[in-house]
Amino acid sequence: MAKVQTHSKQLSMIIDADTVRGLDSVQVSDGFTLRAYRPGDEDTWIPLVNMGQFSSVWDVAKFGDYMSQQERREGSRVVVNDQGVVAATFASVQEGERNMGRLDFVVSHPDQRGHGFGRIVCTEVSRYLVDRGYTRIILFTDDWRLPAIGLYLSMGFEPQMSDEDMPDRWDAVHQRLNARI
């Protein structure tokens, strides 16, 4: 997949607690399990995050530091099979914002896409954060991540116009999404 123009500031999207409460439950397929993070998951989660083409490379030290936050240890969700983690996202706290949780680094193994695992981990982490009292959840993404953006929009996340170039960038994203239909 070719990347579209990149920007120094990522796109952001927000969903409110009431919308999260209305999300349908989705079950994992036979042979897969949805659960919270467990020590040892990093063995297959780190390579998976590195497949996600995020801006930095993950290793054991970075993963351990990242998981030091309580919300991440307790609220992050993975879908696993006998090979290990095939989809995951971290639960985080949006620093500097009151009552705002955050979804971080949503990723699915390329061989497991199309099973709804991204939706499952996003829904479950969002529910965890709402159950903890967060009234809004934010995520950050890149303009070129069209399948992920389509998922977030379908869940009820709303684009945020956090910079003056955002309306044009979001218009371009919506045009590219509509062209894929």
Which of the four pLDDT bands, split at 50, 70 and 90, describes residue 33?
very high
Q: What is the mean pLDDT of residues 106-110?
A: 95
β-pairing verdict for 136-141 and 84-93: unpaired
**pLDDT reported for residue 6:** 42
CA distance 174 to 181: 11
Query: What pLDDT score was predicted for residue 18?
Result: 98
pLDDT band at 8 (very low <50, low <70, confident <90, very high): low
Q: Which of residues 82 and 95 earns the better pLDDT score?
A: 82
Contacts 24+ apart (CB under 8 A), 22-31: 22/156, 23/123, 23/126, 23/127, 23/155, 23/156, 24/123, 25/123, 26/116, 26/119, 26/120, 26/123, 27/120, 28/79, 28/115, 28/117, 28/120, 29/115, 31/81, 31/82
Classify strands 11-16 and 158-159 as parallel, antiparallel or unpaired. antiparallel
The pTM of this model reads: 0.91
Structural domains for the chain? 12-141 (3.40.630.30)
Output the pLDDT for position 3. 38
Can you tell me whether residue 72 is helix, strand or coil?
helix
3-class SS of residue 112? helix
